[in-house]
Chains A and B, each alone.
Chain A
Amino acid sequence: MAVVELLYIISAALFILSLKWMSHVESSRRGNYAGSLGMLLAFIATVLAVAELRYDIVAYAIIAGGIIGAVMAMKMPMTAVPQRTAISHAFGAFAAALVGTAEYLQNNLSIDKFTMGVISAEVILGFLTFTGSIIAFAKLQEMISGKPLIYPGRRIVTFSILAGAVLCAVLLVIAPQKQFVFVIMSVLSLIFGLLMVISIGGADMPTVIAILNSFAGLSASALGFVLNNKLLIVAGALDGSSGFILAIIMSKAMNRSFLNILFGGFGAASSKNGQKGSVRPISSDDTYSILEAAQSVVIVPGYGMAVAQAQHAVRELASMLEKNGAEVRYAIHPVAGRMPGHMNVLLAEANVPYDQLVEMDSINPIMDTIDVAIVIGANDVVNPSARTDKSSPIYGMPVIDVEKARTAIVLKRSMASGFSGVENPLFFKETTRMLFGDAKDSLNQLVAKFKENK
């Protein structure tokens, strides 16, 4: 079996290289190939290792899974990347939880305390990630409302269910043969995952998806402890730490803690103060005149751009501006959209070169040199009250300082407040102009005007 162990080591090394190469765009595709090769080797090694396998059944499962996975990957529109990611966490966690369950059923008469403890932790994590990810998927796919479900005593209910599951785990470590306790623990974990995510709003999804990613990895790693398989431990730990780092970056970008995001029920607050002053609407003719004269333009996209599918229109306007001699950059807030990196992927799909995508921290210091900042479907991530208003629920969250640009043009459907329900003083500033209407239509009109006047 030395060959098998050797293949596992090569496979683990390939996974590590895969993540290393993923750090830069230039080497990222190589990283993906290294990961795929590592997976193939892991599969071959395992099939070699176990002679008792029913190869026909394995083939059916692989073919079925492969077809479903391939079709999902090919058919999925790029705007649906967050949903797909959520559902893949569900699949991964479900697989891990089922294997943990199978391992328990197989050995529950002879299981030792350590293994029982790890199986319990693994199954709790796996099942709660499974239902949590399904709810995240349903929210992102808009099958259910993206608004958090808030009810009285929510935290007590959620925590009691988790506590119940943990209690079951303790009972199982003491008496592993009690199968009904295992069933109760699984059911409680499933309910906990559902209740946890259903109380989280859509704008918090980048963090939630990252946390679920981390959980899915950790449950795979726990499986490695149960089966004494080091490859699983390594691969699961890599996935777990990746999700963890992303969750930290996301929650920092919102100036909130994990616990606050998971159990805070943010986004349900309704705006308490009314409008301050009046907004200044602008026609597309006047917008054209402003843009025509601009030398430097920063485009700030948000989730609204994804909803309006406006990324191609954005890119078209940007090329018109460039032909007109302006320098165009895109300022990306870390939590813009519904998952980490969401905006980058959409703009890349619309052929925006990635060297024009600028991070918030690099654009803010030079924002006062920018002629026009165009805000497309973003709200909370450009809200200056996060910097100035201590009473604001989003106070302390780093934002893109578009109000420092000479002119800010905000593309917006109506005056409804942002996801967090917080009023945005940016809209009422003297240098801000509101271009109302569907973002895609507005952008297309502007592009048409540039074409007319060429």
Chain B
Amino acid sequence: MIEANDILVNLLIFVMASFLGLELIRNVSRLLHTPLMSLTNAISSVSLVAALLVMAHAESSLVLWLGIIALTCATINAIGGFMITERILKMFRKGKKNGSS
């Protein structure tokens, strides 16, 4: 079903995206490692796309249900991940010389 050519293109994309990711993450300030992790976690919940595709073509109710559970889990991560990242990032502020909060 998947052509050999597709596989090679996909591998190329995977390798390029991995190297790009390594370069980008290397530059992330250590201050932000925790929000970085919650952000990448939210981004990887793009597997909700996969869940939707599986649900659309489900031929049995078992497959449909697996898709529904997967979609729910991925949505928890997507919504929760971006919200928690926002909450964490909002706390980071630069010092003002007057000191008190």
Provide the residues of chain B in CB contact with A340, threshold 8 Å. Answer: 30, 33-34, 36-37
Q: B84 and A76: CB pair below 8 A?
A: yes
Return the chain B residue nearest A25 by Cβ. B92
Return the chain A residue nearest B83 by Cβ. A73
Scan residues 32-73 of chain B and give those whose CB is less than 8 A from a CB of chain A. 32-60, 62-64, 66-73
Q: Using an 8 Å CB-CB cutoff, how does the interface string of A309-327 with B read, 1 for contact, 0 for none?
A: 0000001000100110000
Select A65's contact among B6, B22, B28, B71, beta carbons within 8 Å. B71
Interface of B (DSSP majority class): helix
Return the chain B residue nearest A340 by Cβ. B33
Q: A50-B56, A61-B68, A356-B95 are in contact. Are A242 and B90 (CB under 8 A)?
A: no
Return the chain B residue nearest A126 by Cβ. B47
From A106-114, A193-201, A430-438, give the one contacting chain B. Answer: A106-114
Most chain A beta carbons < 10 A, residue from B1, B20, B31, B83: B31
Interface residues on B, range: 35 or more
Select B47's contact among A38, A223, A225, beta carbons within 8 Å. A223
Q: B78 and A69: CB pair below 8 A?
A: yes
- Per the bound structure, the CA–CA distance linking A283 and B32 in Å amounts to 37
Return the chain B residue nearest A26 by Cβ. B94
Q: A102 and B70: CB pair below 8 A?
A: yes
Q: Nearest Cβ in chain A — how far from B51, in angstroms?
A: 5
Select B95's contact among A106, A221, A355, beta carbons within 8 Å. A355
Q: List 19 A-B contacts (CB under 8 A).
A: A19-B36, A28-B32, A39-B43, A46-B52, A50-B53, A58-B71, A69-B80, A74-B83, A85-B38, A92-B41, A96-B50, A99-B50, A106-B59, A213-B37, A217-B40, A236-B44, A236-B47, A239-B44, A319-B101
A384 at the interface (CB under 8 A from B): no
Q: A65 and B79: CB pair below 8 A?
A: yes
Q: Nearest Cβ in chain B — how far from A61, in angstroms?
A: 4
- Per the bound structure, the CA–CA distance linking A290 and B34 in Å amounts to 34
- Per the bound structure, the CA–CA distance linking A95 and B57 in Å amounts to 17
Select B69's contact among A11, A66, A98, beta carbons within 8 Å. A98
- Per the bound structure, the CA–CA distance linking A111 and B1 in Å amounts to 8
From A146-154, A226-234, A421-429, give the one contacting chain B. Answer: A226-234
Q: Nearest Cβ in chain A — how far from B90, in angstroms?
A: 7
Binding site for A on B (CB under 8 A): 1-2, 6-7, 10, 13-14, 17-22, 24-60, 62-64, 66-96, 99-101
Q: A58 and B55: CB pair below 8 A?
A: yes
Interface residues contributed by chain A, number (CB under 8 Å): 117
Binding site for B on A (CB under 8 A): 11, 15-16, 18-20, 22-25, 28-29, 31-32, 35-36, 38-39, 42-43, 46-47, 49-50, 52-54, 57-58, 61-62, 64-66, 68-70, 72-74, 76, 78, 81, 84-85, 88-89, 91-92, 94-96, 98-99, 101-103, 105-107, 110-112, 114-115, 209-210, 213, 216-217, 220-221, 223-225, 227-246, 249, 315, 319, 322-323, 332, 334, 339-342, 344-345, 348-349, 351, 353-357, 359
Q: B50 and A68: CB pair below 8 A?
A: no
- Per the bound structure, the CA–CA distance linking A91 and B78 in Å amounts to 10
Q: A102 and B66: CB pair below 8 A?
A: yes
Q: B99 and A319: CB pair below 8 A?
A: yes
Provide the residues of chain A in CB contact with B24, threshold 8 Å. Answer: 16, 19-20, 22-23, 238
5 smallest A-B Cβ distances: which pairs? A65-B75, A353-B95, A69-B80, A341-B33, A241-B21
- Per the bound structure, the CA–CA distance linking A111 and B2 in Å amounts to 10
Return the chain A residue nearest B101 by Cβ. A351
Provide the residues of chain B in CB contact with A220, threshold 8 Å. Answer: 44, 46-47, 50
Provide the residues of chain B in CB contact with A84, threshold 8 Å. Answer: 38, 80, 84
Select A32's contact among B2, B39, B50, B96, beta carbons within 8 Å. B39
Select A19's contact among B2, B40, B75, beta carbons within 8 Å. B40
